[in-house]
Amino acid sequence: QKEVEQDPGPLSVPEGAIVSLNCTYSNSAFQYFMWYRQYSRKGPELLMYTYSSGNKEDGRFTAQVDKSSKYISLFIRDSQPSDSATYLCAMRQISSGSARQLTFGSGTQLTVLP
Amino acid sequence: GAVVSQHPSWVICKSGTSVKIECRSLDFQATTMFWYRQFPKQSLMLMATSNEGSKATYEQGVEKDKFLINHASLTLSTLTVTSAHPEDSSFYICSAVSGYTDTQYFGPGTRLTVL
């Protein structure tokens, strides 16, 4: 079993839809949670970063963490064609040094249709 | 926001030659940088952890003599692919950890094609 499982998609939605992207994890030592967006042939771009259970909002994006269920989500409101990309969840432990390594989900490919 | 650059963005080389890829943190110091490899439609695969002033730590299965990593300063790490072969063709991405935010920021990636 992988430490981080992510719905692979692909996911296709109409413009304006609410998108829900999800990851589950098995390692209770993970305390920092991130969502990255990666356009084709580009490096990942950090979208959201959180370390506590609950919701964190930034514009059209909301990151949700439920540590008791080991489940994280990213919601995108009013989705736009420019949101079409691969979304990667990532997480790591608190410690410094090598524990700064991120464990990634496999990525969800999202297409927002105009 | 924190910016990480990579150079070159795309390189084509002949089999048997060596290629150096640079990773720079432009507006912050990074004691730790990571090197990843990514195949089409797959997630990032960690190759090695690069710490400034010390030897890199390689993941299992990654040949340290083939993928030479040097982290000579707090803003620069280099990855040299030695004696490259077509199977080394891939997308190589670096990331740098901001000591201020303790967050990983990624470079734009380097596409390596070995003929």
- Over the stretch B40-52, which tens digit does the pLDDT of each residue have? 888 899 999 988 8
Which single residue is written with the structure tokens 């981080």? A4
C-alpha triplet A75, A10, A108: angle, nearest 5°: 50
Determine the average pLDDT of the residues in A49-54.
Answer: 90
Task: Map chain A to HEC letters.
Answer: CCCEEECCCCEEEECCCCEEEEEEECCCCCCEEEEEEECCCCCCEEEEEECCCEEEEECCEEEEEECCCCEEEEEECCCCHHHCEEEEEEEECCCCHHHHCCEECCCEEEEEEC
- Compute the average pLDDT of residues B84-109: 91
Q: B1: pLDDT confidence band, cut at 50, 70 and 90?
A: low
Mutate to test the interface with B, among A100, A103, A106, A110 (most CBs of B within 10 A): A100
List, in order, residues 6 or more apart from A38 with CB less than 8 Å away: A44, A45, A85, A86, A87, A88, A107
Least CB–CB distance from B111: residue in A41, A44, A46 = A41
Q: Is A98 on the interface with B (CB under 8 A)?
A: yes
Per-residue confidence at A69, pLDDT binned at 50, 70, 90?
very high
> In the prediction, which pLDDT does B41 show?
82
Shortest Cα–Cα distance, A45 to chain B (Å)? 7
Measured at the alpha carbon of residue B111, what is the angle toward residues B109 and B114, in degrees to the nearest 5?
150
Whole-number percent of chain B with pLDDT over 70: 99
In this predicted structure, the answer to whether residue B27 has a pLDDT above a threshold of 70 is yes
**DSSP state letter for B59:** P
Burial class (CB in 10 A: 0-12, 13-18, 19+), A68: exposed
Examine the pLDDT at B11 and tell me if it is beyond 90: yes
Asked whether the predicted pLDDT for residue A6 surpasses 70, the reply is yes
Q: Do A41 and B91 lie within an 8 Å CB cutoff?
A: yes
The chain-wide mean pLDDT, for chain B, equals 92
* Phi, psi (deg, nearest 5) at residue B33: -130, 150
Judge whether residue A99 has pLDDT over 60. no
Range A61-88 average pLDDT: 96
Biggest distance spanned by C-alpha atoms of chain B: 41
Instruction: Report the DSSP beta bridge partners of residue B109.
Output: none
Bond before B8 cis per omega within 30 degrees: yes
Check residue B20 and give its pLDDT.
97
Rounded to an integer, the average pLDDT of B70-78 is: 90
